[in-house]
Structure formats: C-alpha cells, structure tokens
Amino acid sequence: MTQYKTKVHVELVKCDDNIDHEPIKNNGGALSMTISEYNAMNIDMCEKLVLSKIYLTMRDAKSQHFSAMSKKSHSFV
C-alpha cells in the first residue's frame, strides 16, 4: 500500500505589503497572507487567522487528492 506525506509550513516574516487577510495561493500550493503587526504579536489573533486559513487550504488539497484518487481507482475497473 502507498503512503502519503502531508506537509505544512508556517513562517512569520516582516514585510511591507498591504494588510490582506485573504490568502494568496502561490506556485506549488503554498499560501501567504499579510497580517497587521498587532495580530502578529497577539498569539490568539495570530493563531486564529493562521489556523482558519490553513484549514481552508487543507480542505482544498484533500478535495483535489480525493478527486485524483477517485479517477485513478476508476481507471482500474
């Protein structure tokens, strides 16, 4: 049976971008969003913003994975 690896990488980096809580999907499926300094320094707000966006991204990745697996399993029939 084949195994699958799930990867999650979170990094907080100073930037000069405008604040945008909507994630931007980069090449390779990575997400980025720009939060305020206040939210970056407030553990509860930072956690809430990051976890909510990671959850949506994870759901999207799983949906794509299961769709591909479904197509693959039908090709064996």
Domain range annotation of the chain: 22-66
Amino acid found at 12: L
- What is the predicted pLDDT for the residue at 25? 80
Q: What pLDDT is stored for residue 17 in this prediction?
A: 93
pLDDT at 75: 62
Asked whether residue 28 carries a pLDDT value surpassing 80, the answer given is no
Query: Environment class of residue 67 by beta-carbon count within 10 Å: exposed (0-12), middle (13-18) or buried (19+)?
Result: exposed
Q: Is the pLDDT of residue 29 over 80?
A: no
Strand partners, 20: 34
